């Protein structure tokens, strides 16, 4: 969700509904009956640490580096925004234009994917301040990592600092839930993005995805084309439900709301225990986005968790995670305390240590970093040996061996693997390799991943 700039749009709708004192014969009871007939995967998952743009105050917004950072520091779910390139590719970037976050200029929709990939998506990022242009060069520690001018941190490569496609995010994190917000400069562009996103969703088996837009027309268009994907409604759907008892549009599984609406001197409190309870009783989860960086503090976090919200979209996932752990909040991975809110039934956790290789990083000398995602029961540390192979049967060659350990409560980690003599030879003679990648743990899941060696 966007911070700040969309608040006025929502306020106007809320004020209009409040003034009209809207009522409907269908009512919230009707919404409850309809919603509860279908299972809702977003209930019973609280409290989700939803890394907003990957945690845009801690890492460069909507980059692969940020998503990995956010998950390694406590994130349970990725929140991102999508636009469409000129050649119809769905990419993750917050703004309509590339100017604020990159070294480029112009609308995302004016770029082909190939041109967009060349931009440095960490160009204006300053840790703790988000994107700020015009500061001394020394303030930008990630600038130039995209181009190779500056060496990326261990475990990362230049491609991690470009604008990623949504498909790349899905491929890297098959078991991490993703919140996708449809964006676009115009109403027509949002409809185009909705159509292209629906086409993409038809090609993937990933269903721990929820799609949202401030523009209800975009949400409706997406639902028409991809009716089996979960939704959060736009402005009209949210305010209609909260103030007028109007049933949210079909496909709705969660309400994604700010803490308050501000209109002049009037502040409307949106997140209250009563409103959250109303949503839960009707069968909807409640996810909260924080409009103001000042809201990222323990007082706000405590208010939200006391109100029984299901997730918080945070720009500071490390800080939010520290609060969740310190206060023993219930978590989707089984850690934390008892859930006093008790709405929804948590999905049974697959027991044991479950790790899956998500990304192979370009080798440096005789070793390479191996990124891993973790899912299921997150209680306790989890580790296992890594094996990278090429071919099968008698032609199978071990390319690298290594090890990874994921800390308790973490959904991502980075391990390392050392090339075998056969692996060294292959890396020297091939620009790209297709490898079987596995971590032996409670289960061994082999994924075929590409390794760029240059």
388 contacts 431 by C-beta, under 8 angstroms: no
Which DSSP string do the residues of 363-430 spell out, in sequence order? PBTTEEEEEEEE-S--SS-EEEEEEEEES-GGG-EEEEEEEEEE-TT-SEEEEEEEE-HHHHHHHHH-
Active site residue 403: no
Give dist(CA 271, CA 259) in Å, integer.
5
The catalytically annotated residue of 52, 83, 280, 287 is 52
The angle that helices 317-326 and 298-306 make with each other, rounded to 10 degrees, is: 60
Distance, CA of 407 to chain centre: 20
Distance, CA of 218 to chain centre: 20
Which DSSP string do the residues of 263-297 spell out, in sequence order? ETTEEEE---HHHHHHHHHTT-EEEEE-SSGGG-S
Residue 111, exposed/middle/buried by CB under 10 A (0-12, 13-18, 19+)? buried
Judged by DSSP in three states, 8 sits in helix
* CA distance from start to end of the chain: 36
70 contacts 78 by C-beta, under 8 angstroms: yes
The catalytically annotated residue of 94, 223, 280, 287 is 94
Active site residue 340: no
The position carrying tokens 């309809």 is 34
Question: What positions carry a catalytic annotation?
Answer: 52, 94
């Amino acid at each position: 969700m966007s911070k700040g700039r969309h608040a006025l749009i929502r306020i106007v709708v809320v004020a209009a509904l409040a003034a009209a004192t809207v009522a409907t014969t269908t009512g919230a009871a009707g919404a409850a009956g309809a919603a509860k007939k279908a299972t809702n995967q977003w209930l019973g998952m609280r409290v989700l640490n939803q890394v907003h743009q990957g945690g845009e105050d801690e890492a460069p917004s909507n980059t692969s580096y940020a998503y990995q950072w956010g998950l390694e520091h406590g994130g349970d779910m990725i929140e991102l925004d999508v636009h469409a390139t000129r050649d119809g590719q769905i990419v993750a970037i917050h703004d309509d234009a590339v100017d604020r976050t990159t070294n480029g200029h112009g609308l995302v929709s004016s770029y082909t994917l190939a041109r967009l990939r060349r931009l440095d998506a960490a160009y204006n990022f300053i840790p703790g301040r988000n994107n700020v242009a015009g500061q001394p060069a020394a303030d930008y520690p990630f600038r130039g990592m995209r181009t190779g001018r500056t060496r990326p941190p261990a475990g990362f490569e230049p491609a991690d600092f470009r604008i990623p496609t949504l498909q790349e995010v899905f491929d890297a994190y098959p078991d991490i839930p993703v919140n996708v917000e449809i964006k676009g400069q115009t109403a027509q562009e949002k409809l185009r993005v909705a159509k292209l996103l629906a086409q993409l969703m038809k090609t993937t088996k990933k269903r721990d995805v929820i799609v949202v837009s401030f523009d209800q027309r975009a949400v409706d268009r997406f639902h028409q084309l991809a009716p089996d994907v979960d939704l959060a409604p736009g402005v009209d759907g949210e305010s209609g439900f909260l103030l007028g008892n109007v049933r949210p549009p079909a496909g709705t599984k969660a309400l994604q709301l700010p803490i308050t609406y501000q209109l002049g001197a009037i502040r409307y409190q949106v997140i209250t225990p009563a409103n959250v309870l109303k949503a839960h009783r009707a069968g909807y989860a409640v996810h909260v986005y924080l409009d103001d960086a000042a809201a990222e503090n323990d007082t706000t976090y405590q208010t939200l968790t006391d109100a029984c919200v299901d997730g918080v979209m945070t720009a500071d996932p490390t800080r939010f995670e520290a609060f969740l752990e310190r206060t023993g909040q219930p978590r989707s991975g089984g850690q934390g305390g008892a859930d006093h809110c008790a709405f929804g039934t948590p999905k049974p956790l697959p027991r044991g240590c479950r790790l899956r290789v998500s990304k192979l990083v370009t080798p440096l000398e005789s070793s390479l970093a191996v990124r891993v995602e973790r899912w299921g029961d997150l209680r306790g540390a989890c580790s296992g040996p890594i094996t990278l192979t090429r071919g099968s049967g008698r032609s199978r060659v071990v390319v690298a061996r290594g090890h990874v350990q994921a800390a308790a409560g973490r959904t991502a980690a980075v391990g390392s693997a050392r090339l075998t003599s056969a692996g060294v030879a292959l890396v020297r003679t091939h620009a790209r390799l297709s490898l079987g990648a596995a971590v032996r743990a409670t289960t061994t899941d082999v994924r075929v991943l590409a390794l760029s060696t240059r």
